[in-house]
Structure 1
Amino acid sequence: MSATIPTLAIARTPAAPPAAPATGEGEKLRRIFAESDEASLRRGPLRAIFRGDLRYADRLEPFLTEAYEEGERQALVDNLRALGTVDRAKLSAVDRIAYDVFKADNERDLRGFAPEIRRIGDVLPINHFQGFQTFYPEFASGQGAAPFKTTLDYDNNLKRNAEYGRVVDRMIARAREGMARGITPPKLVVRNVIEQLDNLLGAPLEKSLFYAPVVTFPDAVPAADRTRLTQAYTVQVRDVLNPAHRRLRDFLQTEYLPKARDTVGLSALPGGAALYDYLIESSTTLPMKAEEVHALGLSEVKRILAEMEAQKGRAGFAGTLPEFFTLLRTDPRFQPKTAEEVAAGYQAIGKRVDARVREQFALTPKTPLEIRPVPAFREKSDAAGSYQQGTPDGTRPGVFYYNTYDLKNRYLWGMETLYLHEAVPGHHFQISLAQENASLPAFMRFGGNTAFVEGWALYAESLYPELGVETDPYQRMGGLSDEMLRAMRLVVDTGIHAKGWGRDQAIKYMLDNSPMPESDATAEVERYIAIPGQALAYKIGQLTILRLKAQAKAQLGARFDPRAFHAAVLDTGALPMPVLERKLADWMAGQK
């Protein structure tokens, strides 16, 4: 829950080239953006590395230190102070959008540094979904964003790894501080992290993710350097990294787990309700309250259940909807036999979508897309699918990760909708198009908010008819199941953190209202417990985009062009929902 440690989703991406010259207030605004971005890269080497900027690649952010956190807070204050010197009325239409996004993002992030928020968030640095230990091992493995092309890249990684070991110790110190205050995560979160660490520590040294970069070398690394680096990595894994993980694992098992709480919701913590209110707004970019979100979720669940009934009829199934769910979960024809079958299936889906996608999108990314399995060490607690952005110059592709853990529960009927969400035209399109747009200031190219990013990806699933997928009732049930998941999140997340729901109650609700397997429902519920509020953004964002599309169709009639609408939504990066609404209203007026 701590905002001090980035995850793949937070560590955005690279230094933007200068925007087109502006004059007057626009020039001042762009200068503020450029100075803010440069300062952000200096403070955040990981942010720079994700963007292909290696000037600070020999270090990590000093996470979990007061100096680092105060620097991040002061940067927000400085950004807003500088923005206050700009006369918004004298800006161009595009610059006004940028002004509004910058203001909204900085104000929202600054509220996260309020004492009542930090009191809890700062001392909960470890969870199984966004803890630094879930991100960094793959980052340093040669398969993540960190480059391993030259001797310098390898040496820089050694320096970052050493700092990672120190971050792990600071995680322990912060957790102890939380114990002293009576602020701890739920026991199930701690157990999940222990299991992740056991997986990392269980591999022999030569199979460690941290050792992986020296298993093979690029041609640019000379033989003498290879010998030195292999020895250095061997010593570091054995004497620094494995001991750091062992210290964390032993602390969690012997000290933290016995003190961790049995409750799962934020409302069980003093001040938890105020923190949850902030997390709802932070995720949705809207000042919604838990009760409102919960009611919206119940309404969406009811609507989607009716659509599922219709698909059950199309499939010719005579039983009840729960019985149809059981069929979808248990019939062997829906269960892949091998991981290779899943890989081939996603490749085939990608080709089908590519054949139709330009009917809906005039604006498409240049960044290539790769399809890969989730790394084994985190597959048990990972989502069914995820996306990691590439670099704007295409040197690192975007990656769609699919999960083959518990293979019999990775149903074939869920593959098409998952691809639309995580890959094309979902995350890969939205994130890549923003990054590739060099006319945008860097914070719009590489920043964003969950409501837009995940709302767009869920909206992308709704394009299944136009893209020629989900043509049979079983694949369509997969699409409805995915949408149902996002609707249930509104109910379950708020149920857990504002209404006192327990873990088992939340899992049962999800199984009663969808065909998802118990393993997925369990992972989802434990995710909401670990990172409250984040999962609310998907449905809120999707409903906003769908509502704006309906307005555009109603206003423009026969002149409505989905390619133009999608370009208007995507061509300025991930906007807060209020800013998106203003932009689309202006766009509709212009189309008339």
Structure 2
Amino acid sequence: MELTPATRLVRALVLPLLAAATPVGAAAPAPAASTTAIAAADAALDGFLAQDDAARRALDPLDTLERGEPLSAAQFRLVFDPALTALQRARNAAARDALAQIDLASLDPAHRISARAYAAVLDDEQVMLSPPVADMLAMMPLNPVGGLQVDYPGLASAGAGPLDSAADHAANLARDRALPAVFASAIARYREGMARGVTSPRPVVETLIGQIDALLARPPERSLFMSPAQQPQGLADKGGLSGKSAVLARNRLRAEYRAATVDAVYPAYRTLRAFLANEYLPAARTSVGLDALPGGAALYRALLRHHTTLDCDPAQVHALGLAEVARIQAEMEVVKGQLGFTGPLRAFFDAIRLDPRYHPRKADDLAQGYRHVAQIVAAQAPRFFVTMPRTPLLIMPHPAYRARFEAGGSYSPGTADGSRPGVFYFNTFDLKSRFLTGIATLYLHEGAPGHHFQISLAQENPRLPDFQRYGGNTAYVEGWALYAETLGYPMGLYDDPMQHWGTLDDEMLRAMRLVVDTGLHSQGWSREQALDYMLANSGMGRSDAQAEVDRYIADPGQAVAYKIGALTIQRLRGEAEARLGARFDLRAFHAQVLGSGALPLPVLESKVRDWIAEQAAR
């Protein structure tokens, strides 16, 4: 069989790494290892993890780009290339064989955690790369939530890392020029799905089209793709250019970015938009749940396991969600009275959507609110954490081109070297549907000490293997951020009944996700049924509720993991408090939860329980 250029490139990148990784465990030390043998075993594991991580990254172009690392245009073209999947399976099988040769008992405790975590990661990869799962997902390649079509503008504007040299800009421009080929591969996958009866739901496709329309509505000269050329003074300075030479260099760079934007990037988006609107949308399915697809029930179970790191029964998750909704509503009844409302809770949900005192009048109301909470959190953080991130955190509104399709807030990670700060984004679209009540809890979740602390502290810890520094799973990452919201109670942020209501409303959202996600994908719920449930059981604005429901449709199982992860961390804290009593140190507990990066929940439980036992024995 003749190899395509993409296949030849991937094999050249990956096969030598697989060969190097395979024999790592061959000389594993015996269980009764000496200090020297333990060090040798730890080094062997470190070497294996580094080798396999390099092999994995060579097969994951988007992850490399998102991490701010150099990525060639040839590697970028591999996105959506079907040759990747077979090679990813081969790499996964080789890695599992190599890891199985390493004796856990011969490793020190930190490396034992890494080995167990990586084994769980490889097991999950094996499931997600299996033909029934991977093939179905490949035929629905673009996702409104974090899909390439919406994320690429931001990635292209910042580049894969700093844009400090002519070579950096050349690589960034080459990726822009490769975008038509990447989108062509996505279209080919869509057409394969159409032929096999596996298509995305119509609401998902309509959102994709809307996202592209919003992007194309901006003139190329004002697009994010031109951002790297707006202030290239540093390039001229570092290149030793001055005077007329520097001006010429900057003008040439601007011309090159404009040409790439006008001749490659915008045409690529227009072609993708035309396909989605004219060919794919008429073929898209009217059902929204995975259970409507052949093999959809099994795919949903696999996605639940992928996001939660646990084997979950959708029916049990649904029941847990209903119980959590009832519990939170009881707390809402109390706070509703503190806010001066005497009617039923359902009536208060409707009233709060209309009462102007709960909504911002202008975008700056939100900006000032988030900055005020940020100051309080920064002052109080040393009470709760041993180590604070070095990476700066910015507070910014969502860019206009994507605000309509986003929820109330989100987080964009910085880079490990601090060259790109973390960003907490808040949404100013449709201000009348935004709430002042959710300011504290949203910042705690998306900003500090939620995503910003967890992601930055992991990235900044060079002692961790890269998969723990940069990887993760939804249950841990989002579970930590949801748990972080609860720290607003001891910080005093919820002494204000408005902010107390806001955190209960956000907690209700995560509980409703258990009900709605499983309802959509395992119980035949319609989009309208899901929206009605969310509006009936919370004070959410319609815009936010619609965005949430469409997100669950587009990304099955992901939203379930928030509550599963948070409940796990809360349960572990309760176990530690009960067993250690007065010796319980919250700062030390948080250090245990955060200190090894984003772990699968079973590995996190084992780690924290070992720590509890060690503390109890002292």
TM-score by length of 1: 0.94
The offset of 1:92, in angstroms, is: 1.3
- 1:389-468 pair list within 5 angstroms: 389-468=413-492
- Is the 1:73–1:113 contact (alpha carbons within 8 Å) kept by the matching residues of 2? yes
**In 2, are the aligned partners of 1:58 and 1:157 still within 8 Å (CA)?**
no
How many aligned positions are there? 572
Q: Which residues in structure 2 correspond to 1:317-332 (within 5 Å)?
A: 317-332=341-356
* 2:179 equivalent among 150, 161, 164: 164
Q: What residue number does 1:82 align with?
A: 98
Matching residue's letter, 1:591: Q
- Aligned to 1:412, what secondary structure does the other structure show? coil
Deviation of 1:338 (Å): 1.6
Q: Tell me the equivalent position of 1:205.
A: 220
Alignment-mate amino acid for residue 42 of structure 2: G
Say whether the 8 Å CA contact 1:360–1:466 is kept in structure 2: no
1:104 aligns with 2:120: yes
Shift of residue 58, structure 1, vs aligned partner: 7.9
Whether contact under 8 Å (1:61, 1:68) holds in the other structure is: no
Q: Confirm or deny: 8 A CA contact 2:307 2:475 kept in the other structure.
A: yes
The aligned runs of 1:278-317 (5 Å cut-off) are 278-317=302-341
User: Matches of 2:74 and 2:391 in 1, distance apart?
Assistant: 26
Shift of the 264–201 alpha-carbon distance from structure 1 to 2, 3 Å rule, reads same
2:538 paired residue number: 514
Q: Which residue of 2 aligns with 1:229?
A: 253
Cα RMSD for the two superposed structures:
1.7
User: Is residue 352 from structure 1 mapped to residue 376 from structure 2 by the alignment?
Assistant: yes
Q: Which runs of 5+ in 1 are unaligned?
A: 1-19
Counterpart of 1:532, as a letter, is: P
More deviation in 396-405 or 503-512?
396-405
In structure 2, relative to structure 1, the CA distance for the partners of 1:337 and 1:202 (3 Å cut) is: same
- State the partner residue of 2:243: none
For residue 141 of structure 1, report the CA deviation from its aligned partner. Answer: 1.9
Does the CA-based 8 Å contact 2:142-2:148 persist in structure 1? Answer: yes
Q: Which residue of 2 aligns with 1:14?
A: none
- C-alpha offsets along residues 33-75 of structure 1, whole Å, 9 cap, x if unaligned? 1111222343445444544543758852611112222222222
The 1:93–1:394 alpha-carbon spacing in structure 2 relative to 1, beyond 3 Å, is same
- 2: CA distance, partners of 1:581 / 1:566: 13
The Cα offsets for residues 268-316 of structure 1, whole Å up to 9 and x where unpaired, read as 1001001000000001000011111101101100100001011112223
Q: 1:132 aligns with which of 148, 152, 156?
A: 148
Question: Which deviates the most, 537-546 or 71-80?
Answer: 71-80
In structure 2, what is the equivalent of residue 177 of structure 1?
192
Paired residues of 1:43 and 1:61 also in contact (CA < 8 A) = no
- 1:209 deviates by 2.1
C-alpha offsets along residues 548-579 of structure 1, whole Å, 9 cap, x if unaligned?
11111100011111101111111001111111
One-letter amino acid of the counterpart of residue 375, structure 1: P
- 2:242 match: none
Alignment partners' CA distance in 2, 1:88 and 1:366: 33
User: Could you tell me which residue of structure 1 aligns to residue 393 of structure 2?
Assistant: 369
SS at match of 1:371: strand
Higher alpha-carbon deviation: 261-270 or 89-98: 89-98
Distance across 2 between alignment mates of 1:62 and 1:22: 40
Residue correspondence of structure 1 range 538-553 to structure 2 within 5 A:
538-553=562-577
Residue in structure 1 matched with residue 262 of structure 2 by the alignment? 238
State the secondary structure of the residue aligned to 1:99: helix
C-alpha distance in structure 2 between counterparts of 1:126 and 1:440, whole Å = 32
Q: Is the 8 A contact 2:308 2:564 kept in 1?
A: yes
| Counterpart AA for 2:408 | A
Moved more, 202-211 or 104-113: 202-211
* 1:510-556 Cα distance to aligned partner (Å, 9 max, x none): 01110010110000000000010110100000000001111111000
Conserved? CA contact 2:73–2:178, under 8 Å: no
Report the residue type matching 1:475 in the other structure.
Q
Q: Which amino acid aligns with 1:429?
A: F
Paired with 1:156 and 1:145, the residues of 2 have a C-alpha distance of: 9
Higher relative contact order by CA 8 Å / sep ≥ 6: 1 or 2? 1
Matched, 1:494 2:509: no
Native 8 Å contact 2:416 2:456 kept in 1: yes
1:90 is matched by which residue type in structure 2? Answer: S
Cα distance change of structure 1 residues 330 and 22 upon mapping to structure 2, 3 Å threshold = farther
Counterpart in 1 of 2:275? 251
Given that 1:58 and 1:156 are in contact with CA atoms closer than 8 Å, whether structure 2 keeps it comes out as no
Per mean C-alpha deviation after superposition, the further-off stretch among 273-282 and 68-77 is: 68-77
Aligned match of 1:26: 42
1:532 equivalenced with 2:548 (yes/no): no
- Assess if the C-alpha contact under 8 Å between 2:406 and 2:547 holds in 1: yes
Give the 3 Å change call, closer, same or farther, for CA 150–337 of structure 1 in structure 2. farther
8 Å CA contact 2:38, 2:108 repeated in 1? no
Amino acid at match of 1:426: G
Partner SS state of residue 387, structure 1:
strand
Alpha carbons of structure 1 residues 220 and 211: separation in structure 2 relative to 1, 3 Å: closer
**1:148 aligns to what?**
163
In the alignment, the residues of structure 2 paired with residue 126 and residue 41 of structure 1 have an alpha-carbon distance, to the nearest angstrom, of: 20
- CA shift for structure 1 position 393: 2.2
Letter in 2 for 1:537: A
**Does the alignment pair 1:556 with 2:572?**
no
AA aligned to 1:570 is: L
How far is 1:21 from its partner? 11
8 A contact 2:411–2:447 mirrored in 1: yes
Whether 2:498 is the aligned partner of 1:474: answer: yes
The alpha-carbon deviation at position 219 of structure 1 amounts to 2.8
**Secondary structure of the equivalent of 1:463?**
helix
Write out per-residue CA displacement over residues 91-116 of structure 1, whole angstroms, 9 at most, x where no aligned residue.
11111110100000111111111111
Q: Provide the C-alpha distance between the structure 2 equivalents of 1:118 and 1:487, rounded to a whole number of angstroms.
A: 29
Return 533-542 or 355-364, whichever deviates more.
355-364
In the TM superposition, residue 438 of structure 1 has moved relative to its aligned partner by 1.1
Q: Given residue 517 of structure 2, which amino acid in structure 1 is its aligned partner?
A: D
Q: How far apart, in 2, do the equivalents of 1:198 and 1:347 lie?
A: 32
Q: Which amino acid aligns with 2:345?
A: L
1:503: Cα distance to partner?
0.4
Distance 1:204 1:545, change over 3 A: same
The one-letter code matched in structure 1 to 2:425 is Y
Which residue of the partner structure matches residue 4 of structure 2?
A: none
Supply the distance in 2 between the matched residues of 1:119 and 1:44 (Cα, whole angstroms): 17
Cα separation, 2, equivalents of 1:493 and 1:540: 13
Matched position secondary structure for 2:390: coil
The 1:33–1:352 alpha-carbon spacing in structure 2 relative to 1, beyond 3 Å, is: same
Bigger drift between 498-507 and 128-137 goes to 128-137
2:224 maps to a residue whose letter is L
Aligned to 2:241: none
Comparing 52-61 with 440-449, greater Cα deviation is found at 52-61
Conservation of the 8 A alpha-carbon contact between 1:44 and 1:61: no
User: Which string of whole-angstrom CA distances, capped at 9 and with x for unpartnered residues, describes residues 397-449 of structure 1?
Assistant: 11111111111111111110000001111001111111111111111111111
1:3 aligned partner: none
C-alpha distance 51-212 of structure 1, shift in aligned 2 (>3 A): closer
Amino acid at match of 1:162: R
Contact 1:149/1:218, CA 8 A, preserved across alignment: no
Q: TM-score, normalised by structure 2?
A: 0.90
Q: Distance in 2 between matches of 1:216 and 1:391?
A: 20
